[in-house]
Chain A
Amino acid sequence: MITLQDIEIGYKTTLFSIENIQLKKGYVYALIGANGAGKTTFLQSLTGFNQSIKGEVVVSNKSIYTFSRFDKAKTISFVASKFDGIDYLKVIDYISLGRIPYTNALGRLTDYDKELVNESIRLLNLEVLSEKYTIEISDGERQLVAIARALTQQTEVIILDEPTAFLDYSNRKKVMETMKDIAIKLNKCIIISSHDLELCLESNTQLLVIHKERKAMILFDENTLTKEKLISIGF
């Protein structure tokens, strides 16, 4: 799905390089690295909003820079670390915004769009929340709602930037389990940046580690790293 070959990631100066990594559909990749190692820059390079120093991110055999705005929005969706909710914006209307890249100039939802919105709501068990306003629900619920919006966007790639940073343990676990479920069931390529080593190891995801000394990103399959090893490489 995503090919990272001979790339240098950074903003003005190189932070780390990637020799050859393939990110496939059906997997969750946890992105791990020390503060300042370049996690956010990497995510921005994946979405094409930051130019990589060398080489280019290739998504579905196409350079990310050649995507049109709406094509990109149909291929990659993004969930921020925090969604604070918005006055007078209902959960269902927020999730519907995921259909924006597909709607006409006036942004009108078709019956098919509405069906997809309801499908995402059902998949994440958000039925009870759908008519509530986004500012009335809890942080954990809001994060699931944001994931539902990304699902409604129907992209093959979903990127989440530290989605669990502001959540308690049970909600963190829930978000990770949900993402693993989605990756397998809906055959999506999911990339999650995280500071939560235990959670990533526990959830048995693939690990994208930014090697501290070699200044390189290395892919580890699930269950091939212990926490001690992970710390010694990345921190």
Chain B
Amino acid sequence: MIQTKSKLVLYLLLILVPIVSVFHLFSGEISIDFSDFYRALFDFDKTNTNQIIFREFRIPRLLMGIIAGSGLSIAGLLMQTMFNNPLAGPYILGINSGSSLFVAFSIMSGIPFFISDFGTISSALIGAFIFGLIILAFSYIVKSHVSLLLIGIMLGSFTSAFVSILQSMSNPSELKLFTMWGMGSLQQVTLTQIPIILVFFILGIISCIFVIKPLNVLVLGENQAMMLGIHLKYVRLILISITAILTGLITAFCGPIAFVGLAVPNMVKLLLKTQSHGFLMVGCLLVGSLFLLVCDILIQLLETSVHIPINALTSLIGAPFVILIVLKRLA
């Protein structure tokens, strides 16, 4: 199923994730020593600023980096296999924009329930799911890979225009809230929000275990998958649901993050050289986390001179990588 060399790569990644995580925890403008970190976890002193920074900012930011990086990468992998298209991903297919639109609606509705965490997650999930279904419906009509991507991009443009109109009608405080959200950031999450995020994330990841088998067969194309006994309609709906949970959750708390879902699964396939989706998922979990954490470390290092939103940095790295993939395909 997988070469020994690829297994070694996986082990290496597994070692790298905690190392980079530690780097991530200790990067940032204020330098903090290890003893404060230890005490923040096990012997928390509410009056110590450094410990508060660890507990309230750095740990949630680290966890969110891991969750967002791995979740978006896995969502991208699901979309790529489902649409048999290496350039698919939740962002380019417009699934993110579904979340954005619904979150914009809920923030600007002014209704307390919709502004609460649970309300925001719900609307982000519903938005992602509806847009997932829309793109699925289009995939029945257009057979060409490129056309489907174009439709996804158009869905994105359409919703961002719509969101701009909503913004122009909203009051300054709502506008600020939404603009901050739209730039994408890992640092808006607080420690109290982490449990609910973890519940949704783990739910999404565990569901993935049960789609490994159909995904491995879907690689052969829909007809062959059907002849091997795969219930296509059912499998597609599950894949869209998992993608909606992961994408919606992450979009709700971090804002839109581009290209991770597109680039990381391609990197993982390049590294592991397999189509066995169990391994690819593990690879996406690890590489996705690493990718976003490294991006976030870079952001923190540059913070003194320039503030880069995470969405901008992932695009800066991701977009050229996608062009590379396209060029490689043509060659």
Query: Interface residues, chain A, CB within 8 Å of chain B?
Result: 47, 49, 69-70, 72-74, 76-78, 80, 86-90, 93-94, 97-98, 100-101, 103, 105-107, 153
Closest 10 CB pairs of A and B: A107-B213, A73-B229, A70-B229, A69-B229, A89-B275, A78-B227, A101-B229, A100-B228, A88-B273, A88-B275
Distance, CA A1 to CA B220, complexed state (A)? 28
Distance, CA A116 to CA B219, complexed state (A)? 22
Distance, CA A98 to CA B217, complexed state (A)? 9
Known contacts: A87-B269, A93-B1, A107-B216. The answer to whether A72 contacts B224 by CB under 8 A is no
Residues on the B chain within 8 Å of A106, using CB? 209-210, 212-213, 278
Chain B interface size range: 20 to 34
| Structural contact, B276 and A93, CB atoms closer than 8 A | yes
| Structural contact, A88 and B274, CB atoms closer than 8 A | yes
Residues on the A chain within 8 Å of B229, using CB? 69-70, 72-74, 100-101
| Structural contact, B275 and A49, CB atoms closer than 8 A | no
Distance, CA A76 to CA B227, complexed state (A)? 8
Distance, CA A107 to CA B230, complexed state (A)? 12
Q: Is B39 an interface residue (CB 8 A)?
A: no
Q: Binary interface profile of B, 219-241, with partner A (CB < 8 Å = 1, else 0)? A: 11001101111110000000000
Which of chain A's residues has its CB closest to B225's CB?
Answer: A100
Residues on the A chain within 8 Å of B223, using CB? 78, 80
The interface residues of chain A, by DSSP majority, are classed as: mixed
Known contacts: A105-B210, A105-B213, A106-B209. The answer to whether A88 contacts B227 by CB under 8 A is no
Which of chain A's residues has its CB closest to B223's CB?
Answer: A80
Residues on the B chain within 8 Å of A105, using CB? 210, 213
Residues on the A chain within 8 Å of B1, using CB? 93
Q: A80-B223, A88-B273, A100-B230 are in contact. List 10 more A-B contacts (CB 8 A).
A: A72-B229, A77-B227, A78-B224, A86-B275, A87-B269, A88-B275, A93-B274, A93-B276, A94-B220, A97-B220
Query: Interface residues, chain B, CB within 8 Å of chain A?
Result: 1, 86, 209-210, 212-213, 216-217, 219-220, 223-224, 226-231, 269, 272-276, 278
Distance, CA A166 to CA B67, complexed state (A)? 47
Distance, CA A80 to CA B225, complexed state (A)? 12
Residues on the B chain within 8 Å of A153, using CB? 228
Least CB distance from A138 to B in Å reads 19
Known contacts: A97-B217, A100-B217, A103-B213. The answer to whether A73 contacts B228 by CB under 8 A is yes
Which interface residue of B213, B216, B229 has the most chain A CB atoms within 10 A? B229
Residues on the A chain within 8 Å of B219, using CB? 86, 89
Residues on the B chain within 8 Å of A73, using CB? 227-229
Residues on the B chain within 8 Å of A87, using CB? 86, 269, 275
| Structural contact, A93 and B275, CB atoms closer than 8 A | yes
Residues on the A chain within 8 Å of B224, using CB? 78, 80
Find B226's partner among A49, A86, A94, A97 (CB 8 Å cutoff): A49
Which of chain A's residues has its CB closest to B214's CB?
Answer: A107
Which interface residue of A72, A80, A97 has the most chain B CB atoms within 10 A? A97
Least CB distance from A58 to B in Å reads 19
Least CB distance from A149 to B in Å reads 9
Residues on the B chain within 8 Å of A76, using CB? 227
Distance, CA A70 to CA B220, complexed state (A)? 17
Which of chain B's residues has its CB closest to A69's CB?
Answer: B229
Residues on the B chain within 8 Å of A69, using CB? 229-231
